[in-house]
Structure 1
Amino acid sequence: MTPRVREILNWYGADNPGVLTNLARMLNQGKLAGTGKLVILPVDQGFEHGPARSFAKNPDGYDPAYHVELAIESGCSAYAAPLGAIEAIARDYAGEIPLILKINNSDTLFGNKAPISALTSYVDDALRLGCVGIGFTIYPGSAERKHQYEEIAQAARAAKEAGLVVIIWSYARGEQLSKEGETAIDVIAYAAHIAAQLGAHIIKVKPPSAHIEQAAAAKVYQEQGIKVSTMADRIRHVVQACFNGKRIVIFSGGEAKGTEELLKEVSELAQGGAFGSIMGRNAFQRPKKEAIQLLTNVMEAFAGKKL
């Protein structure tokens, strides 16, 4: 147990030893073990976007075993996926890497400006499959947010009682937000803070842009001189919004992008104090050798090594 990991665990004083043990398992796993940083491989995109859109670029990805092997071989901190994908690999890879069960999911077969994910599995399933935690998506700004907040409140309480870590994907989206506003700095910081208030141990948000969506927020940002001009500035602000940096905040890789562009963004995330990345399509849509090299470079950036 490194001093940094022990420091992070001390932030979660309300949690039982089971939660702290599972959080420590992730923080002490893989190439970033002991650094206080995390890189998680999430593969819920097949459910969220469809199998062809997710796996046709690299057909090996149709097999759930490919993804967990990629996470293990690259030295990731954990692997996250919906119920079916975890059930397909849990026995064969038991104990090799921390598993996170994504307990709610949505699909793109029904378009809806006010998105909502369905509960697709439960805390009991996470325990049965040996997972360290549950993942859950909320959409702050959605007309359905009340229902989502109430669902995660119940699921988080059950998870914590069972000693499981709670990871919240917090994606602002809804009729009153512009497309640009979904990644605006004020909106991302707000969405991250909401996840912290809902009791998340780990918060996942998108990297923010310099756009400010809310007029009331823009006034405060200007009056208080909150720096948002660089990605590092914006990441620093989002982390600050999560209890002054006392909650783990990780950032999604987003849409598929070129290696150079992606690594530049990761370097800026690291400079801003991000706790890591949760990177799916940008990794598993590449051939395995290339994906492992990419994830290695990402981990080195968070470990403080120059790329």
Structure 2
Amino acid sequence: MTPRVREILSWYGADNPGVLTNLARMLNHGKLAGTGKLVILPVDQGFEHGPARSFAKNPDGYDPAYHVELAIESGCSAYAAPLGAIEAIARDYAGEIPLILKINNSDSLYANKAPISAMTSYIDDALRLGCVGIGFTIYPGSAERKNQYEEIAQAARAAKEAGLAVIIWSYPRGEQLSKEGETGIDVIAYAAHIAAQLGAHIIKVKPSSAHLEQAAAKKVYEEQGIKVSSQVDRTRHIVQSCFNGKRIVIFSGGEAKSTDDLLKEVGELAQGGAFGSIMGRNAFQRPKKEALELLHKVMEAFAGKKL
């Protein structure tokens, strides 16, 4: 156990030894073990976007074993997926990498400004499959946010009692947010803070833009001189918004982008104090050799190496 990992665990003083052990399992696994940084491979896109949109670019990805092997070979800190994908690999890869069960999911067959995720698995499933934690998506700004917050409140309580870590995907969406506003710095910082207040151990958000969506927030940002012009500054502010950096905040890879653009963004996130990345499509849609090289470079960035 490194001093940095001990420091991070000290921020979660209300949690039982089971939760702390499972957080430590992620923080002490893979190429970033002991650094306090995480790179997680999430593969819930088949459920969310459909199999062809997710896996046709790299047909090996239709097989759940491909993804867990990619996570293991690349040295990821953990692998996250919905119930079916975890059940398909849990026995054969037991103990080889920390697993996160994504317990709510939505599909894209019904178009809606803010998707409504359904509970698709439960705490008992996570325990049965040997997972270290649960993943859950909320949509701050959605008309359905009340139900989502209540669902994760109940699920998080049960998970923590069972010794499982709680990871919240916090994606702002809704009729009152513009498309640009969904990744505006004020909105992303707010969404991250909401996840922290809901009891998340690990918070996942998208990288933000310099756009300020809410007039009341814009006034404060300008009056207080909060720096938002660079990705480094914005990342620093998002981490600060999560209990002054005392919650683990990791950033999604987002839409597919070129390797150079992706690594530039990752470097800026790392400089801004991000705790890591949770990168799906930008990794598994590439050929395996290319995906491994990319993930290694991402890990190097979070380890402090200039790309």
Partner SS for 1:157: helix
What is the CA deviation profile of residues 236-256 of structure 1, one whole-angstrom value per residue up to 9, with x for unaligned ones? 000000000000000000000
Measure the CA separation in 1 of the matches of 2:114 and 2:290.
37
Match of 2:218 in 1: 218
What is the CA deviation profile of residues 232-278 of structure 1, one whole-angstrom value per residue up to 9, with x for unaligned ones? 00000000000000000000000000000000000000000000000
Partner SS for 1:204: strand
Partner SS for 2:31: helix
What is the CA deviation profile of residues 94-142 of structure 1, one whole-angstrom value per residue up to 9, with x for unaligned ones? 0000000000000000011232100000000000000000000000000
Measure the CA separation in 1 of the matches of 2:297 and 2:52.
27
What is the CA deviation profile of residues 164-195 of structure 1, one whole-angstrom value per residue up to 9, with x for unaligned ones? 00000000000000000000000000000000
Measure the CA separation in 2 of the matches of 1:164 and 1:72.
21
Shift of 1:306: 1.3
What is the CA deviation profile of residues 53-91 of structure 1, one whole-angstrom value per residue up to 9, with x for unaligned ones? 000000000000000000000000000000000000000
Match of 2:253 in 1: 253
Measure the CA separation in 1 of the matches of 2:248 and 2:298.
17
1:56-135 matched pairs, under 5 angstroms: 56-135=56-135
Measure the CA separation in 1 of the matches of 2:132 and 2:81.
12
Measure the CA separation in 1 of the matches of 2:306 and 2:270.
11
Partner SS for 1:31: coil
Measure the CA separation in 2 of the matches of 1:113 and 1:84.
27
Measure the CA separation in 1 of the matches of 2:266 and 2:114.
30
Measure the CA separation in 1 of the matches of 2:197 and 2:99.
24
Measure the CA separation in 1 of the matches of 2:114 and 2:292.
36
Measure the CA separation in 1 of the matches of 2:143 and 2:208.
22
Partner SS for 1:251: strand
Match of 2:303 in 1: 303
What is the CA deviation profile of residues 281-302 of structure 1, one whole-angstrom value per residue up to 9, with x for unaligned ones? 0000011111000000000000
Partner SS for 2:93: coil
What is the CA deviation profile of residues 35-67 of structure 1, one whole-angstrom value per residue up to 9, with x for unaligned ones? 000000000000000000000000000000000
Match of 2:42 in 1: 42
Partner SS for 1:30: coil
The RMSD of aligned alpha carbons is 0.3
Unaligned runs of 5+ in 1: none
Partner SS for 2:264: helix
Partner SS for 2:220: helix
Match of 1:159 in 2: 159
Measure the CA separation in 1 of the matches of 2:66 and 2:109.
26
Measure the CA separation in 2 of the matches of 1:174 and 1:262.
27
Partner SS for 1:181: helix
Q: 1:114/1:260 Cα in 2 relative to 1: closer, same or farther (>3 Å)? A: closer
Unaligned runs of 5+ in 2: none
Measure the CA separation in 1 of the matches of 2:73 and 2:98.
13
Match of 1:284 in 2: 284
Match of 1:187 in 2: 187
Partner SS for 1:223: helix
Partner SS for 2:15: coil
Match of 2:206 in 1: 206
Measure the CA separation in 1 of the matches of 2:114 and 2:8.
35
Partner SS for 1:12: coil
Match of 2:24 in 1: 24
Measure the CA separation in 1 of the matches of 2:280 and 2:218.
32
1:139-154 matched pairs, under 5 angstroms: 139-154=139-154
